[in-house]
Amino acid sequence: MTTTEPTVEPVSRALDEIKIGGMGASRRRVEDNRFIRGKGHYIDDVVLPGMLHMEILRSPVAHARIRSIDTSAAWDIPGVRLVLTGEMLATRNLAWMPTLSYDTQAVLATDKVRFQGQEVAAVIADDPYIAKDACEAIVVDYEPLPVIVNPTQALADDAPIIRDDKENQPDNVCFTWQVGDKDGTDRAFAEADHVSTIEMHYPRSHPSPLETCGSVADFDRATGKLTVYMTTQAPHIVRAAVALIAELPEHMIRIVSPDLGGGFGNKVPVYPGYVVSIVASILTERPVKWIEDRTSNLISTGFGRDVYLKGELALRKDGKILAVRMHTDSDHGAFFGDAQPSKFKIGLLHSTFSCYDIPTAHLTARGVYTNKAPGGVAYRCSFRVTEAMFFQERMMQAAAEELGLDQAEFRRMNFVRDDDFPHRTPFGFLTDSGQYAKCLQVGLDAIDYEGFRKEQAEAAKNGRLLGIGISCMTEPLGAGNSREYDILGIKMFDSAELRVHMTGKAILRTGAKTQGQGHETTWAQIVAHELGLPADDIVVEEGDTDTAPFGMGTYASRSTPVAGAAVAMAARKVRAKARKLAAHLLEVSEEDVEWELGRFYVRSAPDRGVTIQECAMAAYSNMPDGLEPGLEANAYYDPPNLTWPFGCYIVTVEVDPLTGVWDVLRVVAVDDCGVRINPMIVEGQIMGGLTEAYAMSSMQFITFDAEGNCIGSNFMDYLLPTAWETPGYELHEVVTPCPHHPIGAKGIGECATVGGPAAFVNAVMDALKGYGVRNVDMPLLPDRVRQAITTGADVSGAPPIRTDS
């Protein structure tokens, strides 16, 4: 009798991915070793020999004709080296510069000022104190003009033309745009059992990073090279813009973005201060440093939001949504300077309702000029998606209330089903994966939804106002497929360059630019996942255009969806070459070589293998004939589609009916961001995002009075939450890998900021539903909530604000 020996599977010698700091490891951020010790290297740490200092004179008024500028007293102050005005820049064709939205923006004002804080003149001196004193010595004669601080004023028949510098500009409209099926939407509304309508304003918010903007420009006349150290999230884009503005050859411009003390979209645009410091360095032939003060940052640099909505839902009486109709007016300030894909004038606002199965929709948008600083930056959101999801979820709650439906069930019945992917939204996006109903259910179970509803009813008997708010969102991330996405004509791909040295240590450079996301940590983890190199053996560099491959920078949650994918693809190219080296070392054909994490082995003899480090050594010392030395690769990743993370945020609150003060009781967050590279960093991003969401909903308030004065120009007026006010968060997860991303990741950096605000507002509105109030504009300050309770009417937060009472 013949017996067959059982097949014995070879014992894997693959490395433990968690132990080497690969995917899924909660690896501590390597950046923090220098940050928590005060060893970060920021713009103000840059000191060059012979460096001068620049201060900018800003307009104290929002709209005025400039009659004259007298700089003579400034020139007379000892230590002043140069005084620049718009008129002087105009002689060099530098008084105006292009914006990222194909508009123009004044570098230094020539004809008139168009917002409070606009740059009027600049002084370059031996130290910053002399420069500041000299700015105060400049005398500007202003002729006041009527001021516009909201779209209603801007669109009035008798409104003054703010951009009278532009030929054929008949009014204050900077764009009109529409998307969707108007006729089909109109038919659906005509057939609806009920139409729910709501109007609201998403107010201006300021990213307010810890570090303000600044630059150190250094033009070397001998070599013709310009080096600029700069607070920018997109060094390569800035280099291209500087080449166009300063008319210098691009290869003779080096942009270096060192450590950034936060960005959040605020450090994407090219600001006049950057340009003026460059011009000053060229003229003085010495390095020139410009560091913005806090008030200047708050009143003049890129704002987010400031969008007005009229939203309508066509509904069947059973709760099925038949159509969506939306109109927005967006306030862009004096110059249309949004950083967003070229073809989408209102960003990706039309991503709204992407998680809901809605047959048809139509959106119209209009942008207007006002006497405010340019707004519309992607403040921790993917190009107006924060507004899209806020409007969406406020509309969903209002409609559920009107139909008498439970708000959770109303969402559930209209969700895109799990088996309906890929799903085409009514505005044309293609969503590819998700478990929306599951995320909602995880959140409802965690918050004990039914239990809270009973508690709420009991509390009402005792005069206590409890509320629960739900916000569901899916955010389009990774703008970059070159069919549709570009900025100034440059396609929104991204890049990575990976070089493995002979000892198996590696250096990775990308076209992204971290400003707190943890790139130095997570990028190394991706390489560890792909190659088996310990993450501690990989150094990550970004932010220097002389060394980094060309990339579009970091904003709008493009890091993991695009740059992270490029890192994975570069690592795979390295692994493919290493396989050839392994075959040579093992003396077998490449087809006979198998891979497991950290080593190649012979398929028929698993004990015969070589490590990735041995392959690296061979790349420099024992190459097969015909194979180039070295072990390195570049990758440029052009994503086939956006990624679509999903989040469900549920908040419970109690409102004091006597004061309007509301307290957060619990916050539950459920996020599906696909595969998580570093769970600890993911959780940190969610907590930070929820804190921003809470701040927007409760306290962050930059507004304007009738004269265009910015109310909120310091942190006494523009409130940021401290650890004392910030609520605790309960985090949960669902994992649905992205089907087209190399590692299945979707991105997480902005999700909680995008989806969170509506949860807080919906909770307060749920508490107030007995008063007949449908909307209170953010921030829900106690006086606004109290006004809603006492009047039973909606409360608008649109400027101008009264300052005389």
How many whole angstroms separate alpha carbon 788 and alpha carbon 766? 13
CB-CB neighbours of 566 under 10 Å: 30
181 CB-near residues (< 8 Å, 6+ apart): 360, 361, 362, 426
Active site residue 286: no
How many whole angstroms separate alpha carbon 59 and alpha carbon 43? 25
User: Tokens 């909120």 label which residue?
Assistant: 712
How many whole angstroms separate alpha carbon 81 and alpha carbon 79? 6
- Hey, what are 311's tokens? 């939203």
Contact 128, 291 (CB under 8 A): yes
Q: How far is CA 774 from CA 198, 322, 466, 759, 761, in A?
A: 8, 22, 16, 15, 11
- Hey, what are 680's tokens? 């600890």
Residue 196 DSSP SS3: strand
How many whole angstroms separate alpha carbon 241 and alpha carbon 247? 10
Q: What is the DSSP string of 766-802?
A: HHTGGGT---BPSS--HHHHHHHHHH-S-B--PSPBP
How many whole angstroms separate alpha carbon 697 and alpha carbon 801? 18
Helices (H) and strands (E) counted in the chain, each on its own, are 19, 34
The active-site residue out of 286, 380, 575, 774 is: 380
Amino acid identity at 263: G
Active site residue 233: yes
How many whole angstroms separate alpha carbon 391 and alpha carbon 325? 12
**Dihedral pair phi/psi, residue 57, rounded to 5°:** -90, 125
Axis crossing angle, helix 519-531 with helix 565-586, rounded to the nearest 10: 30
- Hey, what are 115's tokens? 């917002």
In three-state form (DSSP H/G/I as H, E/B as E, the rest C), the secondary structure along 634-672 is: EEEECCCCCECCEEEEEEEEEECCCCCCEEEEEEEEEEE
Contact 598, 463 (CB under 8 A): no
Residue 507 DSSP SS3: strand
Question: Across 206-336, where does the E strand assignment appear?
Answer: 214-220, 225-230, 253-256, 288-291, 304-315, 321-331
How many whole angstroms separate alpha carbon 600 and alpha carbon 551? 32
The active-site residue out of 381, 439, 472, 673 is: 381
DSSP letter for 522, please. H
Active site residue 355: no
Contact 470, 407 (CB under 8 A): yes
423 CB-near residues (< 8 Å, 6+ apart): 357, 416, 430, 431, 432
How many whole angstroms separate alpha carbon 139 and alpha carbon 71? 7
Amino acid identity at 348: L
CB-CB neighbours of 707 under 10 Å: 15
How many whole angstroms separate alpha carbon 490 and alpha carbon 638? 12
Q: What is the DSSP string of 337-364?
A: ---S-TT-TTTTGGGTTTTB--SEEEEE
Axis crossing angle, helix 407-414 with helix 385-403, rounded to the nearest 10: 120
Q: How far is CA 796 from CA 115, 200, 308, 537, 800, in A?
A: 23, 7, 11, 55, 11
Active site residue 750: yes
The active-site residue out of 153, 750, 751, 784 is: 750
How many whole angstroms separate alpha carbon 486 and alpha carbon 101? 11
What residues are labeled active site?
A: 233, 380-381, 750
